[in-house]
Amino acid sequence: MADTNFIDYVKFCSRSGAGGPGSLHFRREKHVPKGGPDGGDGGRGGHIILRGSTNVWTLLHLKYKKHVIAENGKRGEGGRRTGADGSDIILEVPLGTVAKDAETGEKRFEITEEGQEVILTRGGRGGLGNDHFKTSTNQAPHYAQPGEEGIEEWIILELKLLADVGLVGFPNAGKSTLLSSISAARPEIGDYPFTTLVPNLGVVSYRGDQSFVMADIPGIIEGAAEGKGLGIRFLRHIERNSILVFMVPADASNIEEQYQILLGELEKYNPELLDKRRILAISKTDMLDEELMKEMEKEVPTGVPHVFISSVSQYNLDRLKDLIWQAIHEG
């Protein structure tokens, strides 16, 4: 059964704290008849902050948070005492999380590093106490600023997996099998369409201590860019990959046609995806001999590096890793 805990999209109301009002206060002591104004400033309202964390890899913990509300700042006090700031709310998110304005769809920022903190919704400033408003002509101001209101806004968080390489292909192209063969990832594998219902990440070792990260993206079908099937849910993850490995099985009716359909879906979703380096892997070739592979070369599209592979027999997997490593470092 697929892991249903992979959540890569959440929408919630983010409300920062209001600033505390400044204090309207005058110094009153037994031997100081005209102590003057000494009202302190109000405290700042709490921020809503996003923090990058490698300990979380999904937005599941935020799925049921429809409202995130920070604390208001405290009122200033006499004796020029500043009110306490409202407590910030820090939301830990996976690396690769993008924050957007829900109304306009405008991208605010993205979290890409461990420990990176960015203010999502800023708290209101505290008001100034009447001590700030004394002048030579107004030595007893009966005025202090109110605190600035907090901000209330609807926010969308989208997770885009951080991986060097993304596997792109139709259902049952062998993407999950490849990932399990060359990394420690263990995605669920079955002999039926859409086995992979969530993206899977795997670290691939390469010649010694070197490595790169590969993402198995759930299968795309023709029409995914228009919302058919599962593909559109996961096309956003491909945006973060620097290399795209297109996988077409050797038993496909027409290798070039399938490759062009996959390209077309990516172009309709985001034309910039076509600027990424591409490699074509013809999978499931363990039943083919050298002569048949040479014959199939005629169906392979030109202009893209290609390799025949078999995840079952490990055929040419090192050659595929060589092509990927070269493409990563040429980029």
Residues tagged in the binding site annotation for Mg(2+): 176, 196
* Annotated binding-site positions for GTP: 169-176, 194-198, 216-219, 283-286, 310-312
Task: Report the C-alpha gap between 306 and 109 in whole angstroms.
Answer: 36
Order across the sheet with 97-101: list the strands: 67-69, 9-15, 152-159, 97-101, 107-111
Phi–psi pair at 181, nearest 5 degrees: -80, -30
* Distances in whole angstroms, Cα of residue 276 to Cα of each of 138, 219, 268, 299: 67, 19, 15, 23
* Annotated binding-site positions: 169-176, 194-198, 216-219, 283-286, 310-312
Residues 6+ apart with CB under 8 A from 329: none
CA nearest to 73, candidates 37, 23, 119, 134: 23
3-class secondary structure, 59? coil
CA nearest to 202, candidates 216, 217, 191: 216
CA nearest to 144, candidates 236, 41, 31: 41
3-class secondary structure, 62? helix
Residue type, 315: Y
